[in-house]
Amino acid sequence: MRIPFDNPKIHMYTRIRKSPYFYASARHGVQSYSVCNRMYHPRHYDDMIVEYWKIVNDVTLWDVGVERQVEITGPDAFTFTNLITPRDLTKCEVKQCKFVLNTDTDGGILNNPVLLRLGENHFWLSVADGDVLLWAKGAAVNSGLNVQIREPDVAPVQIQGPKSKALMTDLFGEPILDMKYYFMDEFELEGMQVIVSRTGYSGEVGYEIYLRNASRDAMKLWDTILEAGEPHNLSPIGPCQIRRVEAGILSYGSDIALDNNPFSDYAFLNPYEVGLEYTVQLDQEADFVGKEALTRIASEGVKRKVVGVEIECDPLVGYIEDYLMVMEGDAQVGQVSSAFYSPRLKKNIGYALVPIELAELGSSLTIRSAVGETKATVVQKPFVDPKKSTPKT
């Protein structure tokens, strides 16, 4: 079953922001956009299976200017940043990156940004779709801490795929190969100021290039990368959803903050429900937001869980428009949030939120959609490369 992704039309107008790369990426024939952080987000330039093989076999360039940076500086920047994530930042070096969560007082996940530590008291939170800037400003108001919080003129692109290292070496020289996974450094590229990190949203070897003065230099950076990428068969694509599901990466807004569908109780999922408990360090000294609630949840356990599933039906090529229902008899007990056909595995794979009693590996689920019912099985995730050996190479 091939699910169309090109209708209905999305309107282009002033209410929704355009990334600094918008007109650069549009030249390649964007077929579909999503909206993230109130900004147009290019999703596909070609058939999604074609794009999948491009990222698996070659190297790809993504316009991810929608990843807005929340910059935290000032004398108390470390103390404040350590309060708005349950991950212990005393274990984060300068020029290191961390995958972190922002949690509310109930322990629910408000966002899952990548944190970059640029200096002792200088941080960027590269956020998924959500108002982290406003939330951080609100958290700072009565904190008594001396911090400045703003959105800088910075926009990232992602370079993802097995030929990423060759392309990045052409751009930045041999020293780029010394950069460790989830670390970063500052570079100058043809007069442009950039920060490069060994991070990405694909499970492949990859980098992110954060461009300073992006409103001025975005077109120049895009064209510089395109030119350097020609010998490596570089292709502009959007974030590859098939590949990120294979890699066990959860999408904020679909798989984590399930709050726009009839099944949801409008309570944000917590780290233990989505399998991200490794980002919560309860034994640290900092009294971070949500610590009391997460301590209780860790002790009591959870009643629901996001699990990996294999779905028995024709290939799901495209995006499911609505959450698929997980049924127990005539009652809905859960939902499938992401589901895609993996050309490599030759299976439909995805994520489902289910009651804890159905979360065991091997559990059989009944999935209902508009075209009927089918079976699914709870399986281990990530589906491919569970130890992340590929991106760590």
Q: Give residue-wise pLDDT tens across range 41-95.
A: 999 999 999 999 999 999 999 999 999 999 999 999 999 999 999 999 999 999 9
Mean pLDDT of 255-281: 85
Phi-psi region of 191 (alpha: psi -120 to 50; beta: other; left: phi over 0): left
Report the C-alpha gap between 23 and 271 in whole angstroms: 37
Report the C-alpha gap between 298 and 286 in whole angstroms: 17
What's the pLDDT tens digit per position in 111-159? 999 999 999 999 999 998 989 999 999 999 999 999 999 999 999 999 9
Model's pTM, two decimal places? 0.95
Greater confidence, 78 or 268?
78
Instruction: Return the pLDDT at 1.
Output: 45
Domain residue spans of the chain: 22-67+153-238, 69-131, 303-393
- Domain 22-67+153-238 architecture: 2-Layer Sandwich (3.30)
What's the pLDDT tens digit per position in 367-392? 998 888 999 999 999 999 999 999 99
Report the C-alpha gap between 304 and 368 in whole angstroms: 19
Q: What CATH code would you report for 69-131?
A: 3.30.70.1400
What's the pLDDT tens digit per position in 286-329? 999 999 999 999 999 999 999 999 999 999 998 998 899 999 99
pLDDT > 70 fraction of the chain, expressed in percent and rounded: 97
Q: What CATH code would you report for 303-393?
A: 2.40.30.110
* Cα–Cα distance list, 117 to 2, 77, 175, 321 (Å): 42, 11, 20, 37
- Going by pLDDT thresholds of 50, 70 and 90, the confidence category of residue 11 is confident
